[in-house]
């Protein structure tokens, strides 16, 4: 989980173009909640094939 959180943080910084943004305090908890929610929804989807 730590690796994906770090990757998400880098992606946010890259997409916003703000390398000095303190993503850890502001967006990371929200992104972690969002990603875990998305993972739960993806796992509950029927697998095609």
**Would you state the pLDDT for residue 15?**
61
pLDDT at 17 exceeding the cut of 80: no
pLDDT above 80 for 43:
yes
Q: Kindly report whether the global pTM for this prediction surpasses the value 0.95.
A: no
CA atoms within 13 A on the CB side of 36: 8
pLDDT in tens, 26-41: 777 787 888 888 888 8
Q: For all residues of the chain together, what is the average pLDDT?
A: 72
Which has the higher per-residue pLDDT, 14 or 31? 31
Burial 17-48 (b: 16+ CB within 10 A, else e): eeeeeebeeebbeebeeeeeeeeeeeeeeeee
């Amino acid at each position: 989980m730590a690796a994906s959180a770090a990757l998400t943080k880098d992606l946010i910084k890259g997409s916003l173009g703000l390398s000095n943004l303190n993503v850890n305090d502001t967006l990371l908890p929200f992104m972690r909640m969002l990603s875990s929610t998305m993972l739960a929804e993806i796992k509950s989807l029927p697998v095609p094939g």
